[in-house]
Copies of this chain bind each other. A is one copy, B any other.
Amino acid sequence: MSETFVGIDVGGTNVKIGLFDAELRLLSKTSVTTDADMGPEVVIDKMAQTVKDLLAEADLSLTDIVAIGIGTPGPARYSEGVIIRSTNMPKFKNVPICKMLNERLGAPVVFDNDANVACWGEYVVGAGKGVEDMVFFTLGTGIGGGVVSSGELVHGCDENAAELGHMIIYPNGRNCNCGQKGCVEAYASADSTARRATEALEDGAESSLAKVLDEKGRITSKDVYEHLAAGDELAKEITDGTAEALAITCINMLHCTEPRRIVFTGGMIAAGDLLLNRIRHFFNQHIWTIKKEDKIEICVATLGEDTGIIGAGALARHKYGQ
């Protein structure tokens, strides 16, 4: 018997599945369409069949699986293994996904939300490797988060932790989709960064981005970071707004769970050191002076597109491995 862990990353469009050995080395992986409109029975049958196919190709069998990890967006009752509902999979309502997978594959199933799973992957084998306390931000449409404290994910009393994007940093500031004002998400997500640039152009700001808005009808955060690299002043100003909001949030997390490392992922990785250095600049500008905070590291994620399956496999090993 070879100790094998399965990692499953469920998205609205694709399901990614990976097999890992006891050292979390990726043995094989695949991606299949989710076909969410076929409903949970069909989707989960397909997941199970895909796992079996991967096992067969790797000369492994069901009995080699020690445990399965799975990540989905919320809301869900993770510890009970139930998806409550899903924006991208409308037919998934109160689906006992862990039980259904367990019935088909035999092994125990560990379940968490996609941001926590990605956070855990980075923590175990990515940018967080070697520390015990980490904070993780995903900068996309919104801002997701994860917190590892003393080597364990923080889940909170109703398993909603960590909604770091909705920490308020500018009370009565910009409207956030959540109904609050001044959330870090309203300034620093990929979408908010693009929106702030668009608003500035509509207000008459001069910038090389104006041409992009004219030609494409919209601006993305990637555009902002590209024009930043090319020296555009507005792009610099907008990026500074993003960086300062993130820096203040980093400071607040330092004073809250005291991470050794803060890891960012999402579209902004395209900006790389240009953005990271601005975050570090504002961090040093706003941080206290009673004590040097030179040991905290602000960096980008390293796992790339496999984060979801690696994190899920790592969670399975964390709970059921030796």
Contact = CB atoms under 8 A, between A and B. Distances in A.
A167 B256 contact: yes
A147 B157 CA distance: 13
A168 B257 contact: no
Interface in A214-240: none
A204 interface: no
A161 B290 contact: no
Nearest to A131: B157
A118 B275 CA distance: 40
Nearest to A282: B171
A45 to B, nearest CB: 32
Contact of A157 (B133, B154, B180, B289): B133
A170 B169 CA distance: 7
Contacts of A257: 147, 154, 156, 161-162, 256-257
Given A149-B154, A154-B154, 18 more contacts: A131-B157, A147-B257, A149-B149, A150-B154, A156-B259, A157-B258, A157-B260, A157-B295, A161-B256, A163-B255, A163-B256, A167-B252, A168-B251, A171-B244, A179-B288, A181-B286, A253-B256, A257-B257
Interface of A: 131-133, 147, 149-150, 152, 154-158, 160-171, 176-181, 244, 248, 251-253, 255-260, 286-290, 295
